[in-house]
Structure 1
Amino acid sequence: MGDIGSVDQPLLQNEPIGRGTVVDALVARVRADILSGRYPPGSLLPPERALAASYGVTRTSLKHALVRLVQTGLVATKHGVGTRVLDHARLRSLELLPELVMADGPGWFVEIFETRREIGALVVARAAERATAEHHDRLTDLVNRVRTAADPDEAQVAECAIHRLFGEACGNRVYRILVDTLLDAYMPVRALFVRPFSDPPVAAARIAPVVEAVIVGDPADAHQAATMYLAETERMMLGQE
């Protein structure tokens, strides 16, 4: 999201939200405005009537959106006072990670890649222990989708689906949430990291040993293959080779 200015700017400068999924879009917009600093921690959001008008929605839609923002811990509402922005830096909520990356991408990339390396290898090792025959078939199909992708972006999306499937197959719900959250943060900015997928058949050959180790069911080999793959693709994504 670009620079939207200070809190003191006229609220009606906001671009109205379409009617398709009003509450979802409104939650995303207000959350992004909070995380970008437009509404800093400790500040009160504008009165509901003004806030609803600024986003081009009804007060009913706004009330529904505020309830959801309260549930995420971004804001707190008190009768007679208003809606106050909480200190999101202390929340450390996984749900906020994609928005934090969009608001301050470079500040998060190093830590995300570190987590990707360390957690990713563990997830793949667990997947080697616990993946079912159905998982094996789906992994094989996804590698073929990477190989036959029409363009680098399609190959990249298919590769992400492989990692999501590793998370599903590993049998650990916490790991799966971590994998899905990291990928949710990665997807909107994936064009910055498309280099490993510039040649889809080569990209498929690069990840194939990881998938093969999972299908064989060897956790040690899977961990080693994943560690090598994640390190190599990280260097490529960061332009280090």
Structure 2
Amino acid sequence: MSTPIRRDTVVSTLVTRISEDVLSGRYPPGSSLPPERVLAASYGVTRTSLKHALVQLAQAGLVETKHGVGTLVRDYQELGGLELLPALLRLDPLRWGFEVFQARRQVGALLAAEAARNGTVAQRTRLVEQVAAVRAAENADQAQLAELEFHRELASATGNRVYRLLSNALFAAYLPVRGALQGPFTNPAEAADRLEPLLKALLAGDAKAAHAAAESYLHETERLMLGA
């Protein structure tokens, strides 16, 4: 029997636990989950909590509940959503971490170019403020969070809401493991200096220069993160 889950986090924790069991192959694509009564008992939760969790898992593309049939496991690589990234990173940090970094570089450079083209005066001002916040940070943790907010502002400055949602998915995967990725932020002043060429290109509205600066910045921070 699985370890019981605390009631204050029951549904969200249950979603995580079942996601990991599905993604690890305990319940492979095409198979059925155990009956709800059995499944709820195995995790030490009520059937009501289980039903709420299954709704979220269905929305993420992991399972499908059919009346009279039960809950079937779907092929997450064909039908899953970006909500699965945090769980995938926990299960296989090397494989999925490499692919997340690759997406981060490519998507980040694209966002920087679009932000240079479309950013408003107010958005560019907030980007300046976030670089200043990185520089003023008292420790690596504060600098890392300030840098994350810089990228949130960058996504907003593209003017494309889909880019913002895509960025949010990458941030959701990044946040749970960020403690192991603080290499670029141990010296906040140097972290801000690395952002300056990208900021300069964004403020100039130079899409080509912003794309190149973002690629360079993301490659360098990735190197430092992996080194840490």
Same-fold call, TM cutoff 0.5: yes
| More moved, 164-173 vs 51-60 | 51-60
Gaps of 5+ in 2: none
The answer for the alignment partner of 1:141 in structure 2 is 129
Any idea what SS the aligned residue of 1:83 has? strand
Asked if 1:114 is matched to 2:102, the reply is: yes
Any idea what SS the aligned residue of 1:84 has? strand
Amino acid at match of 2:160: N
Amino acid at match of 2:34: P
Show structure 1 runs of 4+ deviating over 3 A: none
What is the number of equivalent residue pairs in this alignment?
228
Q: Are the equivalent residues in 1 in contact too, given 2:61–2:80 (CA < 8 A)?
A: no
Shift of 1:163: 1.0
Shift of 1:135: 1.4
Shift of 1:21: 4.3
- What is the aligned counterpart of 1:79 among 30, 47, 67? 67
Any idea what SS the aligned residue of 1:238 has? helix
Amino acid at match of 2:38: A
Asked if 1:39 is matched to 2:27, the reply is: yes
Measured in 2, the distance between the counterparts of 1:19 and 1:41 equals 29
Amino acid at match of 2:148: C
Measured in 1, the distance between the counterparts of 2:67 and 2:208 equals 57
Measured in 2, the distance between the counterparts of 1:227 and 1:165 equals 17
**Residues 148-227 of structure 1 mapped to structure 2, 5 A cutoff:** 148-227=136-215
Measured in 1, the distance between the counterparts of 2:119 and 2:136 equals 24
Measured in 2, the distance between the counterparts of 1:197 and 1:129 equals 28
The answer for the alignment partner of 1:95 in structure 2 is 83
- What is the aligned counterpart of 1:24 among 12, 25, 29? 12
Gaps of 5+ in 1: 1-11
Q: Are the equivalent residues in 1 in contact too, given 2:60–2:80 (CA < 8 A)?
A: no
Report the RMSD for the aligned CA atoms in angstroms.
1.9
Q: Are the equivalent residues in 1 in contact too, given 2:4–2:45 (CA < 8 A)?
A: yes
Shift of 1:92: 4.7
TM-score, normalising length: structure 2: 0.91
Any idea what SS the aligned residue of 1:80 has? coil
Measured in 2, the distance between the counterparts of 1:213 and 1:113 equals 23
Q: By percentage of residues, which structure has more helix?
A: 2
Any idea what SS the aligned residue of 1:77 has? strand
Amino acid at match of 1:160: L
